[in-house]
Structure 1
């Protein structure tokens, strides 16, 4: 309602620029140009109520200006009141035509504006002739056609200029984002080198640790135990130093250039789905990923949500041997958001469910190499959900049938106003 009132005020101000065509106070104004421009950009504006309100305020402004200049408005008040009909019928015709034609196509919009302008003027003239008991002024039809063409053309031209200006701004914004992305990528490549190196080193340490475990378990080669343990400790220390440098470098980059902003949940899910589908394709599994969003919302906790869903989906991918299904279901309730991530993978037995959130616990161990996958995934999910987002997480699973994880997060901890 506030926006409608603002638009009507602007239309009324613009309507003061007008020319008279007849001695009967019939005038054409520039207000309608502002009216259609606002309707084009504010899609939530309803043409008919906005037209009626604009006509009333235009009438009020005209009456005030007439009173200031003439001293009374008795002689013109009927003419001003009838002018309300022009904006009303313009809104009606515009509404009917935009329901049939695409108003976003500016060429189609010119046709809509011309018919609305000419039609509303004809209706207003017809009513004036009935009220004043005079014949219809056919002699000004050609003038009204010209006025409709000129006003519609001016509005069309302004909208085209604004559209091209927006495209230039958008192009400049995209170029700036691209330059920034290139700069960030060049900075992150250095940190990625150390992270990739550390991944190889971690695999080596895990294999050495498992080999030492086997020797201790079988009570073999005792004289090498201490040296192997020292080598493992030294390797871990080196990994820790390099990892700390990488983390510090990434933190400096993200804190400086990637400051938190609000993001819609729909965008978060789109990024997640695109990334996970690429991962599924990379590993060569036949997995169908389905997503259902109840109601979109904006959040500043998008990094947390992305970490949670990425871990859960990756766990589900690992739990499916060759082919299967993963679903993410979102439900919005008055006080909370509920997220349900489920798969039809191998599932978890009762003993595993008791330790599922313990740091280091994993159901994915290669007993030939000692390789352990994502032992911190669910413990991190639990920490983020319960400590950072003030929510709750629950797991249900049946061995051989799959796993379902329920996450409930209060709206007050997650939502922000739309930007």
Structure 2
């Protein structure tokens, strides 16, 4: 007994067998939803639609085993209903003879679908596929009726017309369900692609951050290298008795030069990636700001904060410098998220005044002290500390200011009574590519 139980359990655990059981169950239930036409002895059920839909939509579908299980289950169900509810029990032989036609129907339908290789034609609803499906349903329905009633009632002109019409209707339902499911799959894929694209944009804007700082580091290394080499020349001219300092100054210049070459290679690679993305990335301002809001809403939820985001855009236009503008706005909005303790709101507004893009970012979180207002854009200044008391880098706002100034713009903190508000002003021509 335990071996039988284990065999049944192993059978039920296989994914393919689970699909078979599900299709059989739904088909059996749907088969009891049928109509009988006034003209002709035909029965048309939703079970046919369910079974054919499963054949076309499920990969590696076991047509014959599923049809056999469905046919046996339908036969037993109908015999049980007749025996216990509808007919006197002395008519049991009549019940058997009357109900086995459903068994014939599903076995014949599955054999026709299998032999016609219907799965190979299921890439699209072409005329051959529709005709094959309609023919399979019509032939199976005709055979089922011939088993139950005399041939004369089946093979009349009116009956055959009804058979063709109802078979076509069942195929139409199958095609409709297939199209709906395919549309849902396409919508799901589009949603996933959009999510991936947005993640790529955020990642690219982060890379742009690093690119900006690496470019500044390159300039600093150029200055250090030049100063070290000048120091070497000065020490050489004054003819010190100990030449170790002269050689050390030259060695420092050479080592800085080597580091600069390594960073230059990394920088070239980053510029190539960012440049390639930039050529393909043109985005409306509304899309960019909406992306910032969605990304930071997810960020706020990930750190257990309830923040209401309000977005207002007065004028929309195409942005060519997507990553720099995304980096600027995203930095300021993420700072606003971090400034709110548990609950609050963030207002993001954009408007255009005299060919200047004006973007304001307001939050009702912790305000900036009056004595810190002149320091917040200085590199290294920070008011944020980790739970362990470790200060943040203090380069976020300095980076934002540097990036804004690269596009001939300004960023400043506006005085308000509660919370804080940053204003970014950038010439539209410098970011729109016009």
TM-score w.r.t. length of structure 1: 0.46
Larger radius of gyration: 2
TM-score w.r.t. length of structure 2: 0.44
